[in-house]
Amino acid sequence: MSAHSFDGSYPQLRMRRLRRTPMLRRLMAETTLNASDLILPVFVREGIDVPQQILSLPRVLQHTIGSLVQQARELVVLGVPAMMLFGVPSQKDPRGSGAYDPDGIVQVALREVRNAVGDDLVLIADLCIDEYTDHGHCGLLTESGEVDNDATIEIYGQIACVQAEAGADIVAPSGMMDGQVSAIRSALDKNGHHETAILAYAAKYASSFYGPFRDAVDVTIADGGDRRGYQQDFSNSREALREVALDISEGADMVMVKPALPYLDIISKVRSTFNVPVAAYQVSGEYSMICAAAENGWLDRESAAIETLTAIKRAGADQILTYFAAEIALRLRS
Ligand code: PBG
């Protein structure tokens, strides 16, 4: 038998050969994080003259229109393709009317940013009313205080239309109401917005990791309430696949899993089951945990950010919403 034939004895396997130098590791990388994978969530607040810091979300700002436009131009330079807008209105009311007012803060911001950057940035509008309601829920309430699903999705349709008119490329319903995607699709189509896409927050869990976000948008849920009646239970994964299947059948162009890092199994299952773009949202609490540990010197901020974002991509996310987007895009360039 020749020395090269297969005789059942293997050469000693050495996994380390391909890890020896930085360039070998680069060549072998199965997953590479790019600026083009990232979407920056941004907050724009009505009635302020200077951007405001958010205590529980370090380095993230409540923008003025002016500073938001500046941020948008910076993303274009950095090669980050998209931003997702959240509004903080100066007045809240039971119906969240600032969300569907054509002159509401997000609509004004969409027009200004579009004016400034044209099509060099994809503009995604979060579509929900919790930032705009005085009770802090994502839907309208009945007299007995229940979230009224069907009345809410009618309002969502109106919001989608004003956002599309103001220049949103994509609307992103985050309220987890049943039937919201089809209500929004038919409202958009009825008003001629056939080109406006829908990114459905399809598998959105009721999560403690949204804490800092609620500071960012000044939301307190009335009477110590929570969102477990409409957002998903973190014990479940098969249910997430049903949610995603429903949203796709209702017309979602893309779907989202949220939060990201504690839900990598969900991202992976959604990716392997469906054939639409899958986004994942590294939410405020995921970001702030890294910030807080880094501020204490307990871990390195940038490496932890890149590792978590790469893990989210490795699990199957095609796009990642992250408060690190600009910072990490800059780092990836250098
Ligand atoms: C609801 C909404 C929330 C987030 C995005 N959209 C909060 C919630 O559901 O309570 C959270 C995002 C984050 O934590 O970064 N409109």
What does the pLDDT look like over 128-168, one tens digit per residue? 999 999 999 999 999 998 999 999 999 999 999 999 999 99
pLDDT tens digit sequence for 61-89: 999 999 999 999 999 999 999 999 999 99
Smallest CA-to-CA distance from 257 within 278, 238, 284, 230 is with 278
Question: 126 CB under 6 A from ligand 1?
Answer: yes
Please state, in angstroms and rounded to a whole number, the distance separating the CA atoms of residues 31 and 219.
37
Cα of 27 from ligand 1 centre, angstroms? 37
Question: 283 CB under 6 A from ligand 1?
Answer: yes
Please give the C-alpha separations between residue 183 and each of 48, 152, 155, in angstroms, as whole numbers: 34, 10, 9
Q: Write down the pLDDT at residue 3.
A: 52
Domain ranges of the chain: 33-333
Q: Write down the pLDDT at residue 229.
A: 86
Question: 42 CB under 6 A from ligand 1?
Answer: no
Question: 284 CB under 6 A from ligand 1?
Answer: yes
Ligand 1: which residue has its CA nearest to atom 10?
210
Cα of 258 from ligand 1 centre, angstroms? 9
pLDDT tens digit sequence for 187-212: 999 999 999 999 999 999 999 999 99
Please give the C-alpha separations between residue 43 and each of 71, 106, 249, 334, in angstroms, as whole numbers: 11, 9, 31, 27
Residue carrying the six token digits 């089951």? 273
Cα of 212 from ligand 1 centre, angstroms? 9
- Is residue 2 pLDDT above 60, yes or no? no
Ligand 1 atom with the smallest distance to the CA of 321 is 15
Cα of 278 from ligand 1 centre, angstroms? 18
Token pair, residue 30, equals: 């199965």
Residues that are catalytic: 204, 258
Domain 33-333 has CATH 3.20.20.70: yes
Smallest CA-to-CA distance from 184 within 153, 205, 213 is with 153
Ligand 1: which residue has its CA nearest to atom 5?
174
